[in-house]
Amino acid sequence: MRLLARVSILLASSLSLSATTLNILSNSSVVIIPPTVSNGPTRAEYMSSAHGLDGFKLSNINSTAFGELWFFDAVSDDGRYWVVASFWASPSPSLTMQLRNEKILSVQMVVRVDDDIYSANSVFAEAAQIFTHGKGMNGTWKGTGSSFSGSEDLSTYSINFSSPFEITGSILMEPVAPAHYKCSSDEVGIDTQILPELGWANPIPDAQATVALKVNGTDVKFKGIGYHDLTWSNTPLFRSGTDSVFREYNWGHGRIGPYSIVWLVIAGSDGTNLTSGYVSKDGIILGTPCSDVSVTLRFNPSTEQIQGSSVRMGLGDKGTIHAELEVEKIVINDAGVISGSGRLRGVLGDEGSKHAGVASFTYYNSVH
Ligand SMILES: *[C@@H]1O[C@H](CO)[C@@H](O)[C@H](O)[C@H]1NC(C)=O
Ligand SMILES: *[C@@H]1O[C@H](CO)[C@@H](O)[C@H](O)[C@H]1NC(C)=O
Ligand SMILES: *[C@@H]1O[C@H](CO)[C@@H](O)[C@H](O)[C@H]1NC(C)=O
Ligand SMILES: *[C@@H]1O[C@H](CO)[C@@H](O)[C@H](O)[C@H]1NC(C)=O
Ligand SMILES: *[C@@H]1O[C@H](CO)[C@@H](O)[C@H](O)[C@H]1NC(C)=O
Ligand SMILES: *[C@@H]1O[C@H](CO)[C@@H](O)[C@H](O)[C@H]1NC(C)=O
């Protein structure tokens, strides 16, 4: 499906590039997202296509649409650092409640250094420029000092922050795991909806991340694992106030030894359930199962705080992967959303010794 209302132009420079490189990923387009909500219906693209994996999936963003969120995170190998960056094109840039902003373009970042937590919120952008080229894209939230840029084969990705953003520097990602959608690798014609009218794509399930930020005058530098996904909808995430389309969800990603793992478990308020898993090794997908996947949560019986999850994914004849998340640091704990990092241990099939690594997770429960 092509969105008719999308401003899409082929650039002369990319035409000459494609003529010389004969690259089948050479399709390019520019979309300018205006700074405020639009009038009229918002249409969304929920079917995957050959290009624009990471692109803008909506025709416009009206005042009741969730809009689109480009999400990035990284956890250091030693677990001391955690960073999350969110690029919003949304009148309601929140996972915990319905907001009603006229202005829709903003960037948020949260950084944890040991037990210290820092955050930055951008000014509203004057416009966002989304340049899609092949599977990659770059996005510039004009006036915020924040942008991200992925090469067209998605082999490198950088997220850059400069003044007036209060945290400056960059997050570089070199992906080590191929992109995926729920229950599928990155293929054409996949239904990307994780709930009715809520699209999700995971261009970078796992990456080598190199983070170099300046936070409140201090250098924050680390290497670790990185991740990037995007979520979009032409309808609201909250029907009213805090009444979310989710009853519960549990998302996480991590790496153990050679395995990159992503899980996404959703109980929708409408009774829809989804359990989606992903495992890759050495740049090859071992499975994107949506059946034979279970994620069991563990809670501290006295505080009722989440302590961890047991993740089990059946990969057919490649065996079953078992991974244990042990929550180490909770950074966000707001209106039912709990986000942070932890230790991940696990094993595939009858491998003798367990692998160890780190993970990032979010757990949401509407009953709080
Ligand atoms: C570019 O996109 C158009 C429209 O989606 C498609 O028909 C064409 O095959 C694409 N070309 C390349 C080189 O990918
Ligand atoms: C936004 O678009 C959706 C989907 O087309 C539509 O249902 C909704 O009524 C629109 N909202 C406004 C305020 O126009
Ligand atoms: C975005 O990508 C295009 C095509 O690769 C490139 O010409 C342009 O410089 C990039 N812009 C940014 C901000 O990275
Ligand atoms: C982003 O940061 C990286 C690493 O510092 C740098 O190589 C790159 O040129 C920066 N890109 C932009 C658009 O500023
Ligand atoms: C930022 O640095 C200043 C001066 O070093 C310090 O007083 C302040 O507490 C720091 N802010 C945070 C959030 O750590
Ligand atoms: C979804 O899961 C819940 C329990 O988590 C269950 O009560 C409900 O019946 C399931 N819905 C469907 C459609 O399977």
Please report, in tens digits, the pLDDT of each residue of the chain (368 residues total). Answer: 222 222 222 222 233 222 222 333 457 888 999 999 999 999 999 999 888 889 999 999 999 999 999 999 999 999 999 999 999 999 999 888 888 899 999 999 999 999 999 999 999 999 999 998 877 889 999 999 999 999 888 899 999 999 999 999 999 999 999 999 999 999 999 999 999 999 999 999 999 999 999 999 999 999 999 999 999 999 999 887 778 899 999 999 999 999 999 999 999 999 999 999 999 999 999 999 999 999 999 999 998 889 999 999 999 999 999 999 999 999 999 888 999 999 999 999 988 778 999 999 999 998 75
Closest residue CA from atom 8 of ligand 2: 41
The pLDDT score that the predictor gives to residue 368 is 53
Q: Atom of ligand 2 at shortest distance to CA of 39? A: 14
Q: How far is the CA of 139 from the centre of ligand 5 (A)?
A: 31
Cβ of residue 41 lying under 6 Å from some atom of ligand 2: yes
Closest residue CA from atom 11 of ligand 3: 138
CA distance linking residue 31 with residue 34, whole number of Å: 10
Q: How far is the CA of 170 from the centre of ligand 4 (A)?
A: 7
CA distance linking residue 293 with residue 248, whole number of Å: 17
Closest residue CA from atom 12 of ligand 4: 160
Q: Which ligand is nearest to the CA of 270?
A: 6
Alpha helices in 76-170 (DSSP H): none
Cβ of residue 118 lying under 6 Å from some atom of ligand 5: yes
The pLDDT score that the predictor gives to residue 303 is 87
The pLDDT score that the predictor gives to residue 26 is 54
CA distance linking residue 118 with residue 220, whole number of Å: 11
The pLDDT score that the predictor gives to residue 52 is 82
CA distance linking residue 120 with residue 144, whole number of Å: 11
Which phi and psi (to 5°) does residue 269 adopt? -65, -20
Alpha helices in the chain (DSSP H): 12-21
Closest residue CA from atom 2 of ligand 1: 27
Q: How far is the CA of 218 from the centre of ligand 5 (A)?
A: 9
